[in-house]
Amino acid sequence: MTDIPQLDVLAIFSHPDDAELTMAGTLLKLKSLGYRTGIADMTRGEMGTRGTPEIRAKEALDAARVMNLDARVNLALPDGHLALNEDSRLAVVRVLRKHRPKVVFTAHWDDPHPDHAATAHIVREAARLATMKRYDKDAALEPIKMPAVAHAVYSRLVIPSFIVDVSDFAEKKMEAIRAYASQFYLADSKEPETRIAQKGFLRQIADRARYYGSLIGVEDGEPFFVREALNVNDPVELLTRPMNIYS
């Protein structure tokens, strides 16, 4: 993995492991299609109950290697205190201008975790501000064209705008998630139990992918919501794609 300036896709999420839990399959699929992919973690996850920021930083790099990312960066904003303010917007504007993605994925603004909801708002505003030449005084970073923004559907019952078939990448997705060994169930762990460290949590993640896959007639899917109208070039091709649920 190298830190290159230009990306096609950048996933911006609050904590190391958020992108993996919500859309590792999609990142793997996009990489297989030839797109340059990356993740920007807003915080180091220092408020986490289990592990340490140093452990999670190593785990994030391990997961990045599994997903064959072209870049992974950490903005080192304060975990548990993410808010829509000048510092957070500027940090995201600069990472957007550095990597110049065509598409940005992030959390949904109705997520129950305050950091996740804040990240969604920060990313939406930063994506617009990154297009404004006079917003940032750092002349080395040129303004960008407004990227498309899609929100991963995870913690709320949100009807997705589209679902990505990630059936071919289900096993690799779980491998990327399991790279965060400090955060999930270990039989001999002495660390406090959390919701995601419960024994059945990773099975729930796999079951969730199967549920969303079932909505489009495939084995595994990952759902996303877009606030803007989608520009469809060929509605017949879109609406007649094979879906096993109708056969």
Buried b (16+ CB within 10 A) or exposed e, 36-61: bbbbbbbbbbeebebbebebbbebbe
The size of the chain, in residues, is: 247
DSSP secondary-structure letter at 123?
H
d(CA 9, CA 5): 12
What is the identity of the amino acid at 112? P
- How do the domains of the chain map onto residue ranges? 9-229
What 202-209 contacts at long range (C-beta under 8 Å, 24+ apart), as own/partner pairs, is: 202/174, 202/177, 202/178, 205/21, 205/174, 205/177, 206/170, 206/174, 209/25, 209/166, 209/170, 209/173
H or E element in which residue 23 lies? helix 18-32
**What is the fold of 9-229?**
Rossmann fold (3.40.50)
d(CA 77, CA 83): 10
pLDDT in 10s for each residue of the chain, 247 residues: 555 679 999 999 999 999 999 999 999 999 999 999 999 999 998 877 666 879 889 999 999 999 999 999 999 999 999 999 999 999 999 999 999 999 999 999 999 999 999 999 999 999 999 999 999 877 789 999 999 999 999 877 899 999 999 999 999 999 999 898 776 766 576 666 776 666 788 889 999 999 999 999 999 999 999 999 999 999 998 888 876 554 4
CB 150 within 8 A of CB 105: yes
pTM: 0.91
CB 60 within 8 A of CB 72: yes
112 contact partners, CB below 8 Å, separation of at least 6: 155, 156
